[in-house]
């Protein structure tokens, strides 16, 4: 780590030590080292051969062409189910365990924060933990449905009524999970420090949360490889890989 990065890391550690209610907001950048691409990026590979994402990953397309949706989802679902948390996920779980973080708001649907041991996770874009019937709304654990889907590629249907099962992820054109979103917004208003980790902040409503936290009086620290449109409101910006920052931060604070 360069002298400049070490100085910034020290400043970040000080912010966390002085905070009474710190919360993390994570995006795709924390999961890409675990092999999960940013599915919103056209050049990630997930969108290969897809001219218009709205034709595949929207709630309207899902209802009309479920097989097309599941054909597109299959390789990504396999990646997510096989992926393991990386050192950055474990560092956040460790910071929560030792009282430096109150929880994690995440835009990711991959369950890696929970797998790493984080206890308080607000999944504002949904998750791959279960599927819900689009007809009778019965729910089913992913491990009881997805293995067969990954093997055959066939659309999973509800064993109770025959309706199409949908993963509990938020598609384009779909309402956000209001209960989770409300709790995430409550944390945004309560926190006195928000760590933005691996998020481009391009997607609302999560992308607006650092600004809302700032307006409520919180400090904001952004750790991201690329520039974000909210860098100018941050107290600290570290332009680095989260894998180079978070494990060192946890080591500095906890040992």
In this structure, whether the domain defined by 1-36+85-125+176-255 belongs to CATH 3.40.50.1220 is answered with yes
pLDDT for res 128? 94
Domain map (residue ranges) of the chain? 1-36+85-125+176-255, 38-82+129-169
Percentage of the chain exceeding pLDDT 70: 92
Q: Is the pLDDT of residue 4 over 80?
A: no
Can you give the pLDDT at residue 227?
96
Instruction: Report the first-to-last Cα separation within the chain, whole angstroms.
Output: 17
pLDDT value of residue 43: 52
Q: How many other CB atoms sit within 10 Å of the CB of residue 33?
A: 17
Q: How do residues 150-191 score in pLDDT, each as one tens digit?
A: 999 999 999 999 999 999 999 999 999 999 999 999 999 999
Residue of 89, 98, 113, 125 marked catalytic:
125
CATH class label, 38-82+129-169: alpha beta
Report pLDDT digits (tens) over 202-216: 988 999 999 999 999
d(CA 28, CA 70): 21
Given a cut of 80, whether residue 5 has pLDDT beyond it is no
| Token representation of residue 150 | 């990954």
- Mean pLDDT of all residues in 90-108: 98
Q: How many CB atoms lie within 10 A of CB 70?
A: 20
Listed as own residue / partner, the contacts of 72-75 with beta carbons closer than 8 Å and 24 or more positions apart are 73/167, 74/149, 74/150, 74/153, 75/46
Active site residue 125: yes
Model confidence at 47, in pLDDT bands (50, 70, 90)? very low
More confident residue, 78 or 45: 78
Q: Is the pLDDT of residue 250 over 90?
A: yes
**What is the separation of C-alpha 188 from the centre of its chain, rounded to a whole number of angstroms?**
16
Omega prior to 42 cis, within 30 of 0: no
**Token pair belonging to 165:** 């099962």
């Amino acid at each position: 780590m360069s002298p400049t990065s070490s100085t910034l890391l020290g400043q970040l550690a000080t912010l966390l030590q002085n905070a009474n209610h710190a919360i993390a907001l994570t995006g795709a950048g924390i999961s890409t080292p675990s092999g999960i691409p940013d599915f919103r990026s056209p050049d990630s590979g997930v969108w290969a051969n897809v001219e218009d994402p709205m034709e595949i990953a929207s709630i309207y397309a899902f209802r009309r062409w479920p097989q097309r949706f599941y054909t597109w989802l299959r390789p990504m679902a396999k990646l997510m189910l096989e992926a393991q948390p990386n050192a950055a996920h474990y560092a956040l779980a460790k910071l929560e365990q030792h009282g430096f973080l109150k929880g994690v708001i995440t835009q990711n649907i991959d369950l890696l924060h929970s797998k790493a041991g984080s206890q308080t996770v607000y999944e504002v874009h949904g998750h791959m933990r279960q599927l819900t019937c689009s007809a009778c709304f019965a729910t089913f654990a992913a491990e009881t449905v997805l293995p067969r889907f990954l093997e055959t590629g066939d659309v999973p249907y509800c064993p109770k009524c025959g309706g199409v099962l949908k993963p509990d992820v938020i598609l384009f054109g779909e309402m956000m999970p209001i209960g989770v979103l409300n709790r995430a917004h409550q944390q945004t208003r309560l926190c006195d420090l928000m760590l933005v980790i691996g998020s481009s902040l391009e997607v609302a409503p999560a992308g607006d949360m650092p600004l809302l936290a700032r307006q409520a009086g919180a400090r904001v620290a952004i750790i991201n490889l690329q520039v974000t449109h909210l860098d100018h409101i941050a107290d600290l910006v570290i332009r680095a890989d989260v894998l180079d920052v978070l494990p060192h931060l946890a080591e500095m604070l906890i040992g």
